[in-house]
């Protein structure tokens, strides 16, 4: 099986920064893409960013482009989401997930972490 553990969430003021981490363990072979999604209360889960496990092909939702950066550290089996210039509308639970394909559709992601809360105060 695969385990994904997120960390790094918290409370930050508008304009601040946070870095989320997602550590993967277990049988990750064959799952080549890591994605970050977020979900606010009452909203559907939405795509934020994804990256190939080799570090290639980062892709972002328009709402975070230019503010968020996804990266990975293969030696640590960890993917990061650096979030800068945070806005109140970024407030949500953030989840990392593994997929075999480069997709923005959450249904194509096979394994999920438990989520970490990000709250941006105005």
pLDDT, residue 32, reads 85
Question: Could you tell me what percent of the chain has a pLDDT over 70?
Answer: 100
User: Which pLDDT tens digit goes with each residue over 5-49?
Assistant: 999 999 999 999 999 999 999 888 777 899 999 999 999 999 999
Q: Which of 92, 55, 70 is nearest to 22 (CA)?
A: 70
Predicted pLDDT of residue 56: 77
pLDDT-above-90 percentage for the chain: 84
Q: 98: burial class by Cβ within 10 Å (0-12, 13-18, 19+)?
A: buried
Res 29: pLDDT: 77
């Amino acid at each position: 099986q695969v385990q994904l553990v997120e960390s790094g969430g918290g409370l930050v003021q508008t304009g601040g920064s946070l870095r989320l981490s997602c550590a993967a363990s277990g049988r990750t072979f064959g799952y080549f893409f890591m994605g970050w999604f977020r979900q606010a209360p009452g909203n559907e889960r939405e795509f934020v960013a994804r990256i190939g496990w080799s570090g290639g092909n980062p892709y972002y939702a328009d709402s975070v482009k230019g503010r968020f950066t996804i990266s990975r550290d293969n030696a640590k089996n960890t993917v990061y989401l650096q979030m800068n210039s945070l806005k109140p509308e970024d407030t949500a639970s953030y989840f990392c997930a593994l997929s075999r394909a480069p997709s923005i559709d959450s249904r194509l992601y096979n394994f999920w972490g438990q989520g970490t809360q990000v709250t941006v105060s105005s």
